[in-house]
Amino acid sequence: MTKIYNYLNNKIWKSNNRTIWNSSISSGLIVCLSAILFLFPMTLSTAYASSNDKQDKNSMVSGQELEKPKPVFTRNGSEISAKLIPRAKSTSVTLNFKVTKGGKLLDVKGMDFEKAARPEVDIKNYKSALFVVEIGDVSPAGSDATVNISSDFFASGTEYRVFNEKLPQPWFNSECHNVASKGRVRELMITVKDGGPFDSDGQANGSITFVGGPRDSFWGYALGTLFIRFFGIFLVLGVLMIGMMLSGMFFSRADSKNGAKESDDDLNSTSSDVVDSVSSDPEIIAEENVVEAQHDSEEIAPNADAEAKFFDEAVDDYEIAAAIATALHLHFQTSAPAPIVIEKTEPTATFQRVVCPVQQTNTWSNDGRSQIMRERQQTYNRTNR
Amino acid sequence: MSWSQVLELIQNILITQTGIPHVTWGQGVMLLIGLLFLYLAIAKEYEPLLLLPIGFGIFLVNFPLTPLMGFTEHGTPELIRVFYKYGVEWEVIPCVIFLGLGAMTDFGPLIANPKTLIIGAGAQLGVFVTYIGVLFFGFTLKEAASVGIIGGADGPTTIYLTAKLAPHLLGANALAAYSYMAMVPLIQPPIMRLMTTEAQRKIKMSQLRYVSPREKLLFPLIAITLIVLLIPAVAPLMGMFMFGNLMRESGVVKRLSDTAQNSLMNIVTIFLGLSVGATMKAEVFLNWKPLLIFGFGLLDFVICTFGGILTVHIMNLFLKDKMNPLIGSAGVSAVPMSARVSHVEGLKADPNNWLLMHAMGPNLAGVIGSAAAAGMFIAMFQ
């Protein structure tokens, strides 16, 4: 074990910058860690759950239990509204019940799904609970009444399923009419016959007890929303990408314009500075090109103080520039002969691309790049996430 | 007072005022799990800033009769419950962490190559596959969404979404997210090698263009406008993220930016870690759901990595300047670890291939992508 530990430790944690990891070791570690994380607690948890009598059952939290809709009913004239937070929702919805024809709405109550649970029925399809609708004054007894249930929570595919435990097949579709109403509201219109299969009391006695609930396909919703939302992310980030490309074009254009203007200004000012400075320097005067500059600058040089100042700065700049030029020259002489190619373009709407030399194999440049990358890694080290 | 009365008194004290008789072996298991995470944080330096407080939270809260995560008889929350209630339940801490992250983030690589945003979207594949996968195991839609987001590899986003949709899974989800984020260098390379050829790993990408400070300054404003218009539900997270970045890029509020990056971030990290760890009491944690979450979390990371690389392959079919598919794995947020992994894998294929800055683009896109996925889920349940 010690050998294995040492091997792993050396191989993984103390290898060169912790970076060169053997894939088989990686896979092995994943498996080991997974085993620790899964198998160990899994064995114990099963035993624990079955053996611990003192365990508080309420603390074994179930998502289904937490999301159980708890409708609150309010009556407004002949209409009863149920306000509830359906399963898979965080905001409340309102379902309005009324009897439009053939009777009077007496009461609407919520019903626990467990009372109507059957193996063939999936509770997930019933997002907004079950309701017991009581209708009275059905006259004549045994006639039909029309129940109207409206909500903006219903979709065009919403059905209303009826539960009647007295029937051999207690769950069945009410074949309701699902019609669009004002705004996003949809209405489910169900015709219920007194004493018919929808009537839980089973008697044509002038009152109807109608148990059921709106049903939406859980898997249809889950899969549908999966695709919509996954491609929604592409859409959002695509829009952001287009926005950034446009802003990038705008800024590149603006920057290149400014850059061109500044470089023109710099060029003008530098040439005049150079000219001013070299005109006072006896050593540089000997240089042929500077002599030319001197001739051009005779009219420009304003006064002696300014000349001296420009002279000092220009000499410094020249020294630095010469050092950089020498270094670059030596570097590119010693490395592969890949010249710097700068695609100089006029300021346009496209990016001004600078094509850098192909990455060289020279030790000096590699060391430099390694240094830069190490510094960048430090910059991007956000370990306290 | 007789001896029997003294003994009865001692017995009463032992039973009612000390924890020893109340220790269950479930708590023992949780103490060991707490110690395991402390070990990973301290000895292995696996996301220590989060796993250490989480580990200690697990350890502390699983001693019996501790007045830490409950409520008093008067309904006053106990110590860690206060942190949890006002920090996590009220969804404050994840947003404050996003503020700090925004202040730490340089969006330059993303702005220079906006195409990488698509990789960030593609790398969310695992989030949705896991979302469907866990539904088959009886999870509710809200639970499935909160488990799916683990693959986004973004701790604060995971905590934010879970606290909103399935707070009872908070501990397991946060732990899975941070554990796997720490294991990114172990999880990703085999998948990267599996999905790329030697030649593809050697692809060199052209240097990123220069991004001006003005462009960086305007980026948070442009990004937040577009994102919040399309997904208003993500405004708390992205709003704080972009606000933090604006503070950074403006350069005029250095003190605020520094505070957001350092002091504030550190303070909320302490409370976040401790309160997340404290949600993992034995009676809540030791059931099959957290175990499934860990299983699917790993799968989620794998598929997200796969999705990111696949997206680059697809993009390369249409691009003139090919992208190195290794940067696809960086689409899983986990900043900057997954970018580093891409860089390291690139170096293995070609010691002169420097992918770090190229990989930072999809990496940052992954942050936005996972927040967008979280926003999508929140909107779905509204």
Cβ–Cβ below 8 Å for B33 and A30: no
**Is there a domain that residue A240 lies in?**
yes
Give residue A40's pLDDT band: very low, low, confident or very high (50, 70, 90). very low
Q: Does A238 contact B265 at a Cβ distance shorter than 8 Å?
A: no
Give the count of Cβ contacts less than 8 A between chain A and B.
248
Per-residue exposure over A59-79, b if at least 16 CB sit within 10 Å of its own CB, e if not: eeeebeeebbbebebeeeeee
Same domain, A293 and A193: no
Cβ–Cβ of A240/B117 closer than 8 Å?
yes
Q: How many Å lie between the alpha carbon of B9 and the closest alpha carbon of chain A?
A: 24
Which residue of B143, B356, B380 is in closest CB contact with A373?
B356
Tell me what the mean pLDDT of segment B219-243 comes to: 95
Query: Is residue B101 scored above 50 in pLDDT?
Result: yes
* Statement: residue A349 has pLDDT above 80: no
What is the side-by-side order of every strand in the sheet holding A171-173?
A: A104-111, A130-136, A208-215, A159-163, A171-173
Alpha carbon distances (Å) from A358 to A327, A328, B214, B327, B343: 18, 15, 30, 20, 18
Q: How does residue B246 score in pLDDT terms, banded at 50, 70 and 90?
A: very high
Whether residues A242 and A171 fall in one domain: no
Please give the Cα distance from B115 to B123 (Å, whole number).
Answer: 14
* One-letter identity of residue A333: Q
Q: How far apart are CA B286 and CA A141, in angstroms?
A: 57
Based on the fold, state whether residues A241 and A197 are members of the same structural domain. no
Residue type at position B53: P
Instruction: Report the C-alpha gap between B193 and A91 in whole angstroms.
Output: 45
Interface of B with A in 81-110 (CB under 8 A): 97, 101, 104-106, 110
Rounded to an integer, the average pLDDT of A13-36 is: 45
> Which positions in chain A touch B353 (Cβ < 8 Å)?
359
> pLDDT class for A27, splitting at 50, 70, 90?
very low
Least Cα distance to B241 among B120, B167, B160, B124 occurs for B160
Which of A216, A244, A265 is at the close of a domain?
A216
- Answer yes or no: do B347 and A21 touch at CB < 8 A: no
Scanning every residue of chain A, which has its alpha carbon at the shortest distance from the alpha carbon of B262? A384
Contact A241 B114 (CB under 8 A): yes
Tell me the per-residue pLDDT of A230-241, one tens digit each, with 9 for 90 and over.
Answer: 999 999 999 999
Chain B residue closest in CA terms to A356: B207
Global ipTM: 0.90
Classify A175 in phi/psi space as left (phi over 0), alpha (psi -120 to 50) or beta: left
A59/B contact by beta carbon, under 8 A: yes
Token pair for A202: 């089973």
Å between B256 CA and nearest CA of chain A:
18
Question: Sign (positive/negative) of CA torsion B132, B137, B139, B145?
Answer: negative
- Total domain count for chain A? 3
CB of A49 within 8 Å of a chain B CB? The answer is: yes
The distance of A185 to chain B (nearest Cα, Å) reads: 16
The answer to whether the beta carbons of residues B196 and B325 sit under 8 Å apart is yes
The distance of A5 to chain B (nearest Cα, Å) reads 13
In a domain, A50, yes or no: no
Judged by CB atoms closer than 8 Å, whether chains meet at B382 and A382 is answered as: no
Is B186 in contact with A233 (Cβ distance < 8 A)?
Answer: no
Q: Is residue A88 part of a domain?
A: yes
Interface check for A61 against chain B (CB to CB < 8 A): the answer is: yes
Query: Which pLDDT band holds residue A272 (cuts at 50, 70, 90)?
Result: low
Average pLDDT over residues A240-254: 91
User: Of A151, A182, A216, which one is at a domain's C-terminal end?
Assistant: A216
- Could A226 and B206 be called an inter-chain contact, meaning their C-beta atoms sit closer than 8 Å? no
> Is A351 inside any structural domain?
no
- In a domain? residue A154: yes
pLDDT for the residue numbered B358 = 94
* Residue B21 DSSP one-character state: G
Nearest CA in chain A to B368: A237
pLDDT of residue A54: 40
A354, β-bridge pairs = A342
> CB distance A360–B352 less than 8 Å?
yes
Q: Output the furthest CA–CA distance in chain A (Å, rounded).
A: 124
- B155 CB neighbours in chain A (<8 A) are 385
Residues A4 and A76 in one domain: no
* B135–chain A Cβ distance below 8 A for any pair: yes
Residue A328 and residue A202 in one domain: no
Strand order in the sheet with A79-84: A72-76, A79-84, A93-101, A144-151, A186-193, A177-180
Q: Do A202 and A185 touch, CB atoms closer than 8 A?
A: no
Q: Is the pLDDT of residue A282 over 80?
A: no
pLDDT tens, residue by residue, B291-308: 899 999 999 999 999 999
Residue A45 lies in a domain: no
Of A63, A235, A381, Cβ closest to residue B139? A63
Distance CA A149, CA A160 (A): 10
Q: What is the pLDDT of residues B38-53, one digit of tens each?
A: 999 999 888 899 899 9
- Which residues in chain B are contacts of A383 at CB distance < 8 A? 47-49
How many angstroms separate the CA of residue A202 from the nearest CA in chain B? 36
pLDDT at A311: 52
Does A252 lie at the interface with B, CB-CB under 8 angstroms?
yes
Judging contacts by C-beta atoms under 8 Å, the chain A residues touching residue B166 are 63, 66
A104 and A154 share one domain: yes
Which residue range is the domain that position A148 belongs to?
70-216
A160 and A270 housed in the same domain: no
Question: For residue A259, what are its two tokens?
Answer: 């850059």
Say whether both A200 and A260 belong to one domain.
Answer: no
Q: pLDDT tens for residues B121-172?
A: 999 999 999 999 999 998 999 999 999 999 988 889 999 999 999 999 998 9
Q: Number of C-alpha atoms within 13 angstroms, CB side, residue A325? A: 6
- Looking at the domain assignment, is residue A364 inside a domain? no
Could you tell me if A55 lies within 8 Å of chain B, comparing CB atoms? yes
Encoding tokens for residue A143? 């006639």
CA distance B1 to chain A (A): 34
pLDDT of A67 over the 90 cut: no
Cβ-Cβ contacts under 8 Å, A221 against chain B: 141
Whether residues A91 and B368 touch (CB distance < 8 A) is answered with: no
Q: Which chain B residues contact residue A86 at CB under 8 A?
A: none
Question: Are A164 and A254 contained in the same domain?
Answer: no
Query: Are A86 and A192 members of one domain?
Result: yes
CB atoms A351 and B156 under 8 Å: no
Secondary structure element (H or E) that encloses residue A280, with its range: helix A218-280
Mean pLDDT of B238-266: 95
Please judge whether B380 and A225 are an interchain contact, meaning their C-beta atoms are less than 8 angstroms apart. Answer: yes
Nearest Cα of chain A lies from the Cα of B143 at a distance, in angstroms, of 7
Nearest CA in chain B to A375: B356
The answer to whether A97 touches A147, Cβ cutoff 8 Å, is yes
CB contact under 8 A, A30 and B281: no
| Chain A residue closest in CA terms to B372 | A233
For the residues B22-34, what does the mean pLDDT come to?
Answer: 93
pLDDT reported for residue B263? 95
CB-nearest partner of A61 from B114, B284, B291: B284
Identify whether residues A116 and A158 lie together within a single domain: yes
Same domain, A274 and A137: no
Indicate yes or no: CB of B26 within 8 angstroms of CB of A235.
Answer: no
Question: Sorting pLDDT into bands at 50, 70 and 90, what band is B218?
Answer: very high
Among the candidates A167, A188, A216, a domain finishes at A216
- Indicate whether A87 belongs to any domain: yes
CB-based contact, B218 to chain A, within 8 Å:
yes
CA–CA dist A231, A209 (Å, integer) = 45
In contact, B239 and B224? CB cutoff 8 Å: yes
Inform me whether the C-beta atom of residue B10 falls under 8 Å from chain A C-beta atoms: no
Q: Give the whole-angstrom CA distance, residue A305 versus residue A309.
A: 6
Q: Which one of A235, A359, A385 has the shortest CB-CB distance to B155?
A: A385
pLDDT at A251 over 70: yes
Q: Tokens for A327?
A: 């270094």
Biggest CA pair distance of chain B: 94
CB-based contacts of B273, cutoff 8 Å, min separation 6:
B49, B50, B51, B52, B53, B54, B56, B57
Report, as an integer, the average pLDDT of A45-67: 52
Distance (Å, rounded) from C-alpha B197 to C-alpha A196? 69
Q: Can you read off the two tokens belonging to residue A191?
A: 């015709």
Which residues 302-331 of chain B have a CB within 8 Å of chain A? none
Determine which of A258-267, B43-52, B69-78, B185-194 has the lowest per-residue pLDDT on average.
A258-267
Q: Is B186 on the interface with A (CB under 8 A)?
A: yes
- Quick check: A100 contacting B, CB < 8 Å? no
Tell me the percentage of chain B whose pLDDT exceeds 70.
Answer: 100
pLDDT in tens, A193-210: 998 888 988 888 889 999
Least Cα distance to B118 among B267, B354, B313, B376 occurs for: B313
